[in-house]
Amino acid sequence: MATLALSRIRPLDSTAVWLRNYSVTLRLWKTEVIPPLAEPAISIFAFGWGIGSLIASNVMGIPYLTFAGAGILVFTGLLRALFETTYGSYFRMVYQSTYDAILCTPVNVESLAMAEIGWGATKAAFDSVIILAVMLAFGILQSPWSLLIPVVIIVGAAGLAGASLAYTASIPSINHFSYYLAFTFSTLWVSGAYFPVEQLPRWLQYIAWAIPITSVVDVCRDMMVGRFDRATALESVWIVVSSLVCVEIALRRLARRMLR
């Protein structure tokens, strides 16, 4: 029976590659910090106060600013992980030959892939902390459970980063990202970020709930208001399981690409 690629990860090697990415980011901190601060603040004005002013009643029992805030939070964090493991990883793999240089050391490809996924999830968590601070200033957060939201973002971002890295390792040219981004952004808009999934046609609701991003948005929203039920527990399990599957696929795809 084939062994899991996850079992071949060497934590110390993955940490070393993660620290390499961290040191590079430190030199570019101005461009890494300012966008996460500006974008969610503008989005809160647009969706929360702009669209929210047109909605007289609460949405699913919570203010629309809080409802949409969860979508803004998840979108900003997960998209950071997505772009890090698509264009960022592709440049390191193809144009800069960074992967080739790393694999000339004792680091194996599975540890390299896990470091890339981990770095994407780290950047997503960092962005989520900044956005949470902005939301706290706007009075959007209603529960101390909001402090655990970055944990949910990390797990969800690892899944999306895994799916993105698997795709990156499978394409012959950078132009193929247009297909992936078109599909991903389409799924983001049906994930219940700015309106309840229940407003969609029944057949589209099934597709929406099958997308892990929908569960990430829903669990983060529940934490923002301190609302937990059986659905929250099931969605949390689905986030973990789907992320593990995506990471496993990513490790296998990158190994096939780099070792062929």
Q: Where is mean pLDDT largest: 60-64, 127-131, 224-228, 239-243?
A: 239-243
Best CA proximity match to 110, nearest among 160, 69, 169: 169
DSSP 8-state symbol, 143: -
* pLDDT attached to residue 60: 77
Residue 155 sits at the vertex; the CA angle it makes with 153 and 158, to the nearest 5 degrees, is 100
* pLDDT attached to residue 1: 44
In which domain, by residue range, is 14 found?
Answer: 8-22+29-259
153 domain residue, yes or no: yes
Best CA proximity match to 149, nearest among 61, 76, 198, 248: 76
Q: pTM, whole model, 2 decimals?
A: 0.91
108 domain residue, yes or no: yes
1 domain residue, yes or no: no
2 domain residue, yes or no: no
3 domain residue, yes or no: no
Phi/psi at 62 (nearest 5 deg)? -130, 155
Using CA atoms in the order 49, 54, 57, 63, what is the torsion angle rounded to 10 degrees? -20
Contact call for residues 216 and 153 (beta carbons, < 8 A): yes
224 domain residue, yes or no: yes
Q: Return the higher-pLDDT residue of 33 and 62.
A: 62
Domain count within the chain: 1
Place of tokens 């090697």: 13
- In the chain, % of residues over pLDDT 70: 89
Best CA proximity match to 114, nearest among 104, 132, 102: 102
218 domain residue, yes or no: yes
* pLDDT attached to residue 116: 97
Dump pLDDT digits (tens) for 4-54. 899 999 999 999 999 999 998 888 776 766 766 676 667 766 765 666 566
Contact call for residues 75 and 212 (beta carbons, < 8 A): no
